[in-house]
């Protein structure tokens, strides 16, 4: 008789109480392209509830017994920390591999093998990787949900979700807004995901960047096909007064092949109180952080500076996503 491998052991806490009919149960989160408007309304509804719960009771046991593997091949402060906080506030726990240097990756282990190893121990894997498409590759091998926490210059879907949640919570709506993205639109993955996600709404998008750091043509064309009005500029002046959301990004030093080019464009735009004086009274200034030169610290006291609140909204969105892929929301 040929060799029969043993039946896969099912941990008893896995199936019980999981809502297998939940919309994102067991799903990977790889790109914002997978979200339609009703999905977004659903995610934001859950994120809103998470916020209420955190403000009221701090932590609760929705994901008790569940384990998240946080696998980061690139540096991260907010994304890594907020996923840990999200899991722990939901009563779950985390295997944190923030420094792949100390894992078997250094011994030459492939991404598919690392992912298949971690899913033997964890229920969900959050992955950040320098290569575009890495999360999709991992998902081809994984049986457990993979959440893309940034794949090179590709996408950063959970950031875009939290960015949109921030806009909705702060300005009450997304439809009808003028969003201006400023800085490194070529290499900045957060703006790639955000532009695609905004195309689900009735918005106008302005892109302000040096010519070498323009928004990739395929994204501009994708939005054009959806009828989104878009315009490109090299200075902020022509669009500042009409802007409802000014989304500033860092020039992505680590993606430049030519350091001289980085030096030429690194401080192309700097938001100061003088710039903010020319913006609308009711608008918000956002940034995915880290900031380097782009917003001076004396802007932080301006109530329109939403970037620290944006980080907090990220906690609630990531709590919602974890609960959803694990079938608890
Ligand atoms: N933290 C964001 C990212 O990982 C933005 C940045 O690094 O500039 O893409």
Q: Could you read off the pLDDT of 21-42 as tens digits, one per residue?
A: 788 999 999 999 999 999 999 9
Structural domains of the chain in order of their starting residue, each with its CATH number = 32-155+314-325 (3.40.50.1370), 157-311 (3.40.50.1370)
Q: Give the tokens for residue 128.
A: 């950040």
**How many other C-beta atoms lie within 10 A of the C-beta of residue 255?**
15
Q: How far are the Cα atoms of 136, 259, 317 from residue 293, in angstroms, in the given order?
A: 33, 16, 28
Best of 129, 256, 286, 290 for a ligand 1 pocket test (most atoms within 8 Å of beta carbon): 290
In the prediction, which pLDDT does 74 show?
Answer: 94
Ligand 1 atom at minimum distance from 74 CA: 4
In the prediction, which pLDDT does 5 show?
Answer: 77
In the prediction, which pLDDT does 18 show?
Answer: 67
Residue 56 Cα to ligand 1 midpoint, Å, equals: 30
Pocket of ligand 1 (CB under 6 A): 150, 156, 189-190, 250, 288
Classify residue 16 by burial, with Cβ atoms within 10 Å: 0-12, 13-18, 19+: exposed
Best of 126, 158, 159 for a ligand 1 pocket test (most atoms within 8 Å of beta carbon): 159
Ligand 1 atom at minimum distance from 149 CA: 4
- Whether 226 is a known active-site residue: answer no
In the prediction, which pLDDT does 317 show?
Answer: 98
Q: How far are the Cα atoms of 66, 130, 228 from residue 327, in angstroms, in the given order?
A: 11, 29, 34
In the prediction, which pLDDT does 9 show?
Answer: 52
* Dist. CA 249–CA 301, nearest whole Å: 19
Low-confidence ranges of the chain (pLDDT < 70): 7-18
**Residues paired with residue 248 on neighbouring β-strands, in sequence order:** 182
Classify residue 20 by burial, with Cβ atoms within 10 Å: 0-12, 13-18, 19+: exposed
In the prediction, which pLDDT does 208 show?
Answer: 98
Residue 105 Cα to ligand 1 midpoint, Å, equals: 23
- Whether 79 is a known active-site residue: answer yes
* Dist. CA 92–CA 85, nearest whole Å: 10
Catalytic residue (choose from 8, 56, 101, 107): 107
In the prediction, which pLDDT does 128 show?
Answer: 97
- Whether 37 is a known active-site residue: answer no
Residue 190 Cα to ligand 1 midpoint, Å, equals: 7
């Amino acid at each position: 008789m040929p060799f029969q491998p043993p039946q896969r052991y099912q941990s008893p806490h896995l199936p019980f109480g999981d809502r297998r009919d939940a919309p994102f149960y067991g799903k990977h989160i790889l790109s914002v392209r997978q979200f339609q408007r009703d999905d977004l309304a659903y995610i934001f509804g859950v994120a809103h509830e998470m916020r209420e719960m955190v403000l009221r009771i701090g932590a609760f046991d929705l994901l008790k017994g569940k384990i998240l593997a946080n696998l980061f091949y690139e540096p991260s402060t907010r994304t890594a920390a907020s996923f840990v906080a999200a899991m722990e506030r939901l009563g779950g726990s985390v295997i944190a591999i923030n420094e792949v240097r100390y894992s078997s990756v250094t011994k030459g282990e492939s991404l598919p093998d690392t992912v298949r190893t971690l899913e033997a121990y964890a229920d969900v894997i959050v992955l950040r990787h320098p290569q575009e498409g890495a999360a999709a590759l991992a998902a081809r091998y994984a049986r457990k949900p993979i959440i893309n926490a940034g794949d090179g210059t590709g996408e950063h879907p959970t950031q875009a979700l939290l960015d949109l949640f921030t806009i909705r919570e702060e300005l009450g709506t997304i439809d009808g807004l003028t969003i201006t993205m400023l800085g490194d639109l070529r290499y900045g993955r957060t703006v790639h995901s955000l532009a695609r996600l905004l195309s689900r709404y009735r918005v106008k998008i302005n892109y302000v960047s040096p010519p070498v750091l323009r928004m990739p043509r395929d994204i501009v064309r994708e939005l054009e096909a959806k009828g989104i009005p878009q315009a490109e500029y090299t200075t902020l002046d022509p669009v500042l007064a009409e802007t409802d959301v000014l989304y500033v990004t860092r020039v992505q030093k680590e993606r430049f092949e030519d350091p001289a080019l980085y030096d030429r464009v690194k401080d192309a735009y700097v938001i100061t109180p003088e710039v903010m004086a020319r913006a609308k009274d009711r608008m918000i200034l956002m940034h995915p952080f880290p900031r380097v030169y782009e917003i001076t610290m004396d802007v932080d006291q301006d109530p329109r500076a939403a970037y620290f609140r944006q980080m907090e909204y990220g906690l609630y969105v990531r709590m919602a996503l974890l609960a959803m892929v694990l079938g608890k929301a």
